[in-house]
Amino acid sequence: MSQEEPKGAPLPASPAEPPNEPLHGGPAWGFARPKPYHGHVFVPGWSGRKRIAHLTDLHFGNVTPLALQKNAVALVNAARPDLTVLTGDFVARGLGHLERLTEVMAAIEGRKLAVLGNHDWWSGAAGVQEALEAAGVEVIDNQWTMDGAGEDALPVVCIDDWTTDHHDVHEAVRGLHGRPALALSHNPEAAPELWAAGAGVVLSGHTHGGQVYVRTWTRSLYQSLLRVRYLNGFYSEEGGQVYVNPGVGSSVVPFRYGRPAQRCVAILDLEGGELRPPEHGF
């Protein structure tokens, strides 16, 4: 959103597909292309407006076709966000595709912030971070950064991976002093700790929306056996809210099934307001 636009002006429209931009490939290996999901999200205590594009779980590697990752970036650029955030798992099971990672991430226009995920640490966090920084991505671990200016300025709290125990919420909010904030965490299970630290809206990934989603069965399996509290979509609780983005790629199973697990690029229009479920989409 341009700083010169009046406060009452609408945020730019997000087309369903990039205009004059070819969609890369089609269904491949049982994949459907990622789709844009839109939501209007309210940030308590904040007075600004901002469009965020949220990408996660790209999983560069042999399992996910490069065409899907390129299409996801085309959808981001078509939405003209103020900021793009990336919540981890850039690689699948190794570091053999880092050049592709750099090439595709460099195509994202505008500022882009990232945190790492468990697959990044398992494969080699230093190599992943170097590839991202070569693409102009700011990789932030256990710190916060300010995005925007004036009323639209919003702190973004970035914690390192919760699954591999590299997170430090206390350090990440140092100096925040209770200001309303957005938070990035690869694993959504860190959300209650971030809410308690003052970050009321958390964006995450990690679960792939269940990967193969069968009504009732998948959610029950994740909750009872895997102890996963937040599986897909938005969760609004007393302390705050967390969005679990199903992401784009795969690390093991080369297909997805069920709408909650559909590959997506999240386009979130943030606005100050009381804590309540998001409007539109999802």
**pLDDT tens string 122-166:** 999 999 999 999 999 999 999 999 999 999 999 999 999 999 999
In a domain, 9, yes or no: no
Alpha helices by DSSP H, listed for 60-216, are 66-79, 98-106, 118-123, 125-134, 169-172, 191-196
| Residue 246, helix vs strand vs coil | coil
Residue 281: pLDDT band by 50, 70, 90 thresholds? low
CB burial of residue 257 (10 Å; 0-12, 13-18, 19+): middle
In a domain, 204, yes or no: yes
| Residue 233, helix vs strand vs coil | strand
In a domain, 280, yes or no: no
In a domain, 277, yes or no: no
In a domain, 266, yes or no: yes
From the list 122, 101, 123, 120, the residue with the least C-alpha distance to 112 is 101
Query: Domain limits at 39?
Result: 35-272
Of 3-17, 34-48, 72-86, which range is least confident? 3-17
Alpha helices by DSSP H, listed for 140-185, are 169-172
Structural domain count, the chain:
1
Percentage of the chain exceeding pLDDT 70: 88
How much is the average pLDDT of 243-260?
Answer: 90
From the list 240, 263, 147, 256, the residue with the least C-alpha distance to 188 is 240
In a domain, 28, yes or no: no
115 close to 89: Cβ distance less than 8 angstroms: no
In whole numbers, what is the pLDDT of the chain averaged over residues? 88
Instruction: Give the residue with greater pLDDT, 167 vs 228.
Output: 167
Distance of alpha carbon 169 from alpha carbon 202, whole angstroms: 13
How much is the average pLDDT of 238-256?
Answer: 92
* E runs forming strands in 143-281: 143-147, 154-158, 181-184, 199-204, 233-236, 241-244, 264-272
pLDDT at position 148: 96
In a domain, 10, yes or no: no
271 close to 41: Cβ distance less than 8 angstroms: yes
Residue 4: pLDDT band by 50, 70, 90 thresholds? very low
CATH (domain of 92): 3.60.21.10
Q: Which of 11-15, 41-45, 220-224 has the highest mean pLDDT?
A: 41-45
In a domain, 82, yes or no: yes
Percentage of the chain exceeding pLDDT 90: 73
